[in-house]
Structure formats: C-alpha cells, structure tokens
Amino acid sequence: MRITIVPYFPLAAPAGARLAEGLAGLFDCAADLAAFAPPPARQPPSGQCAARVFLDDLRDRRSQRSAAGAVLLGVTDADLGAKRMNFVFGEADRDARVAVVSLHRLGSAGGTEAEPGRIIQDRLLKEAVHECGHVADLDHCEDPRCVMHFSSAVADTDYKGPGFCAACQKKLAQYGHGTG
C-alpha cells in the first residue's frame, strides 16, 4: 500500500511531512505529500461542504494519474458533512481507494491553520489513519482505544490512540496490509 496526501489548503511542509511519516509508520508503507490542490468547491452558505465532493475530486485525480494501488488522502480545512450526519471528521470510499479528513473540527490547540499545533496534528493523524483504515477494508471497532473506533466528538479522538488494536491489526494482516 502507498498513501499520497493531497492538501486542499496550504499545509506547511513540516506538518505534511509529520502526517506522511505517521501514516507510513502505522501502515508500514510509503507515504508522500502531493502539491497543493485547489479545493473542488467553494464553501456553501450553510458553511459545510459535502465530504463526497472531495471524494469525487480525489477519484478524478486518480483517473488522471497512474496511482495504481495508492490510497489518495485529501486533507482540508473545510467543515465536512455527510448524509445522516451533522458533521464528519472524514470519510472514505473503499472501492475508489480515496479518503478525506478535515482539520475544521479538530480544535484550535495552538499553531496556525497551515502549521497546526501538536495536539491538532495528533488528532489529524488519528483521523487520517482511521479513514485509511476504512480504505484498507476495516470497519469501526468497539474498542474505544483503537484508532478504528468511531469518533462522534473530538474527545473520542483524544481518547483513542493512533494505532490499531490487536483484532484490527490481525484483520489488516489478513487483508495484506502492514501495520508497522
């Protein structure tokens, strides 16, 4: 598995590099940071963008480049929504091997939007691993410490670790994905 991070806002290189390094370590794979990509849509008057708009853009990017086997992970600062949800931290499309995560609801624990503080970077890594875990065929986990546990609030994200529980690690290995 390879993960390519597609930033939809000017994410500072050090923050992008830390995210790529964290993903590479947890999935035991290569991860890199692509160039800035203009957001696929303007923020609507409601203030919330449909996550599927970003997923559609990532699907289009996949078809425009040779990225066989790579997971495309979009990172945005837009507030994301999805059907039947008030908001989402991220969303994934397993079949297309694309996912998107947002910094918008991960808090303001220091730093700037382009160079988020350490707490926000930790939260971003957890949500990115969670969505890439879905792309790697994992479902939500009942273990509240597992990164695959569903987060309905940022407190849930803070409580869980960045890694997989033993059961999810076993599933990843069965599906042929490393877990660092």
Give the active site residues. Answer: 131
Q: Amino acid identity, residue 39?
A: P
CB atoms within 10 A of CB 140: 13
Q: In 3D, which of 14, 97, 23, 29 has the Cα closest to residue 58?
A: 97
Copy the structure tokens of residue 176.
Answer: 């042929």
Residues 6 or more apart in contact with residue 167 via CB below 8 angstroms = 141, 143, 146
Copy the structure tokens of residue 105.
Answer: 């609801």
